[in-house]
A and B are shown apart, each in its own frame.
Chain A
Amino acid sequence: MSGLEIGLTGFGVMLVLLALRIPIGVAMLTVGMAGYVTIAGENALFSYLKTETYWRFTAETLSVVPLFLLMGQFAAKAGLSQALFAAAYTWLGHHRGGIAMAAIGGCAGFGAISGSSLATSATMGQVALPELKRFNYSGALATGSLAAGGTLGILIPPSVVLIIYAVMVEANVATLFQAAFIPGILAALGYIAVIAIVVRVNPEAGPAGERATRAQKWAALLEIWPVLIIFVLVMGGIYFGIFTPTEGAGVGAFGTFLIAITRGGMRVNGFIEALLGTAQTTAMIFLILLGAAIFNAFLGFSQLPITAADFFGNSGLSPYTILFGMIALFIVLGFVMDSLSMIFLTIPIFWPIIAALDFGMSPDEAKLWFGIIALIVVEMGLITPPVGLNVFIINSMAKDVPMIETFKGVIPFFASDIIRVGVLIAFPTITLILPRLLA
């Protein structure tokens, strides 16, 4: 067999293992090691494995991941979701559909200090669902907006998925966070516009809330000062290059820890819960990172990524046809797997292909632009059936809403995601302007 055939076979075997419910990290390690031995021999593998685990877990580029996860765990215990929702409510609540809009605003605020979609959905769901019910919002709109709003946790930096992408394509995390900022804000505005349209078509679905006075509005904003400080300190520090993403994550974890104690009433048990939550997610991600390292070393030997890039580069297809093909594949994969797994599986093949095509921008800018597009599209998998995790989380909290209603409810939000991806493809400047200005 040629290297290429071994590479393709390896990919096929891995998909079979995944279908059998083998954890993705284990599947990548198994196929990666087997392929490595086939091409380079067992002595090469044994020698490679002596320190690979150590270097992978001790990489300076990766220590940012557990620190951001720890920060997100503390943020969830800081009692901020109530204040965020209340603040968004005083500003948006009096519009038709205003309570759902406030939920989106709260999600956006929480997303600015948390890198996890599921945590954003879960914490905002607890706060906003009872209010949406009190105002008689339709089950579809209530659960749909929270499931979609949760994706803002990942779309608005910090974002764990984006860090993993950065590591895989060797991009600068800080620059990617800059690039994600405006698209993230557009996502929140797009969701609010969706709610406005839904309630215009069907006013019953989302009545207006009470109007707040100007004094109440400012008082409510004052209540969310910890979020503002953490965001300005952490993301501002990273954006303006005052410190590295790892330092930002460390400072953010320490800051949210203090807020969780003073405001959220976190005590020893809560602290231990936060540590165990961080432990589980960190271990899950690093097992895949180790698997991806070995799997990608094997793919590199097999020449599959280069061959694929050559093949598509010389195929005569327009770059945009290939890009749309990838997006379609992401959406299909999103029906069956989670966003992180998708990034790990596809980027080692997709990025070399994109890098070899001409989109009228420098390779470094294409890296940012493609990363943000990929991020949005893989996150859409969180709200599509049959395994949309955000939908499951919100639906399990809203016991009276049938699952099918929630999936119907997310359709207009899904449509706004598609439109946003189209806009970002057509106008790369939206993504690239902030990194250019701050460079």
Chain B
Amino acid sequence: MSEMSTEHTRPTDPVGRVLYQVSKWLAIFGGVVLSAMAILTSVSVFGRSVLQQPVPGDFELVAIGTGISVFAFLPWCQIVRGNVLVDFFMSTAPVRARIFGDVVGGILYLAIAALLTWRMIFGGLDMYYYNELSMTINFPRWTTFPISIAMLGFLTIVIAYTIGRSIAEMRAGRYLDKPDTPA
């Protein structure tokens, strides 16, 4: 797993630097939401065991909150090349061939992210028109769709950028932001 990749790749061009900063702050925002969910859970457990009074609908709130975090985390993972892949078969291939795989993967991911963003807009509209509510606390489910769709849209932009970066790297025959050796 790539959870320990210590050398964070950092773009050096102006567009990349902006996208990197936005992705980073989005990820921090998601992390703060997630931390808030940890606190909410702790308060609820404490309330239930000591005061016999849990936070109502805590499961739903935590699930909805962590959902927002996950959307916020995706662009960061993409821009720091955090997605896990099988390096074995290409580990001895020339660096251009390896980067070609990045380009193909990027194009597939771009199409998928764009499709998911597009479809989720209609999912959000459905949730709004049918006024779908969460089970316990009647939280209107459509309310988190706009921000989630915006973050998926931003992910699509970040993927487009990383494809451009990979193509530039194919031309240069080397990685622009990290050493050539397999991670």
Contacts and interface: CB of A to CB of B under 8 A. Distances in A.
Interface residues of B, number: 71
Contacts of A280: 2-3, 5, 27, 73, 76-77, 80, 82
Interface string A36-73: 00000000001001110110011110110011011000
B38 to A, nearest CB: 4
Interface string B92-127: 000000100110110011001001100110110011
Given A21-B98, A22-B105, A280-B3, A251 B28 contact: no
B129 interface: no
Contacts of B3: 69, 116, 118-119, 277, 280-281, 284
Interface string A16-35: 00111111111101100100
B76 A54 contact: no
Name B's interface SS: helix
A27 B82 CA distance: 15
B32 interface: yes
A282 B87 contact: no
Most buried by B among A23, A25, A69: A23
Given A286-B70, A389-B1, A20 B101 contact: yes
Nearest to A23: B83
Nearest to B62: A63
Interface stretch (A139-147, A335-343, A360-368): A335-343
A242 B63 CA distance: 20
Interface in A380-412: 386-387, 389, 393
Given A19-B89, A60-B59, A284-B1, A24 B71 contact: no
26 contacts: A23-B83, A24-B84, A49-B123, A50-B123, A53-B120, A62-B63, A66-B34, A66-B66, A70-B34, A118-B3, A119-B3, A251-B45, A272-B31, A275-B32, A280-B27, A280-B76, A281-B1, A281-B3, A282-B34, A282-B70, A283-B73, A283-B77, A283-B78, A288-B84, A386-B88, A386-B91
Given A29-B108, A54-B141, 6 more contacts: A49-B115, A118-B1, A118-B3, A279-B27, A280-B3, A280-B76
